[in-house]
Every structure is written in C-alpha cells, then in structure tokens.
Amino acid sequence: MGLYNLLRETESALKTARESGLDMSVEYLNEDYAGYKFQEELRISTRTLGSFYMGLPYYDQEISDRTLNALKQVRDLFGKHPFHHVMDGRLAECVKKADNEGLKVPNELKDYKDFKINSWNNPHLNYNTPKDIIRCVKEGYKDPEVFSEIPPEWLISQISC
C-alpha cells in the first residue's frame, strides 16, 4: 500500500469518525461499539501512516503537509483520551523528520520539533485503553517497564478513585 492510499485511508477514517457524532475522547471498552471501532481504525491507520512516512526514501512538501495534517487532526479528535499521548509522539516523530529533511513545518506544529519522547508517548504504542497494558501484566507479561507506558495522569486518576 502506498503513502497516498494510506493518506486517503486515514482521511476517510477521520471523516467517518467525525460524521458519527461520537466522542473520540472517551475510552470505549466494548469492542462491539462503533466508537471503539472508529478509535481502533484511527490508531492503526496513523501507526501505519507514521511508519511509512518515516521510511520514505524522499520527501516533498505536499506529502509532508498532508501527513502532518492528518496526524494532527486525529490527535485533536482524540482530545483527552489517553491515546492522545501516543498521537503526540507520532506527530513529533514525523515533524522532526520533516524538519531534518528541510521541509517547512506548520507553525502550530513547531513545538513538536523539541518534543520529548517518553515511554507513554512512544509513537509505536498501540493500545485501546491503558487498561490493556495492565491486563498484559496480569496475564503474565513480566517486564515492569510496561507500567511506564501508562500516561501519568491516567495512573493518578485510577489511584485517586
């Protein structure tokens, strides 16, 4: 699948999610619910889009603008959903790549040039909710570092309940 197809797929998923009227900042836990499916599609398409963009052998301004715009729109759509951290990481990775390739970065994304990638905003994470990470640990995943992948404010909100 080429980059243009990935862009169209991501832009289409964005349009469908917006038109659904569902709040993408909510953690949908039921896999059968439309909101969950929209979020999953956006997570997967942005991961693929970001990875493909990072591996391009050449860059041009149009491709860069469309990719960064699609990632920013998905990030904005997720709002305060814990996954917005991962979207920040994906945006930062692509902004840094565009900047290194000498391409113009939109003013509203310039802060991502200095964005620090942490374990909870690693652009390669792919979870539906931080509860998925905790479930992995309960099911026998032994690496204690996995807890560092959980957004700090999510952990605090769970502890204070």
- The DSSP secondary structure of 48-85, one letter per residue, reads HHHHHHHT-SS--HHHHHHHHHHHHHHHHHHTTSTTHH
pLDDT(137) > 60: no
Q: What is the pLDDT of residues 37-92, one digit of tens each?
A: 999 899 999 999 999 999 988 889 999 999 999 999 999 999 988 888 889 999 99
Percent of the chain with pLDDT over 90: 55
Query: Where exactly are the structural domains of the chain?
Result: 3-125
pLDDT tens per residue across span 147-157: 566 676 665 55
Q: What is the predicted pLDDT for the residue at 50?
A: 94
The pLDDT of residue 145 is 61
Q: What is the pLDDT, as a whole number, of residue 128?
A: 64
Distances (CA, A) of 1 to 5, 9, 52, 62: 6, 10, 10, 18
Q: What percent of the chain has pLDDT over 70?
A: 78
pLDDT at residue 155 in the model: 59
Would you say the pTM of this structure is higher than 0.75?
A: yes
Q: Which carries the bigger pLDDT value, residue 153 or residue 121?
A: 121
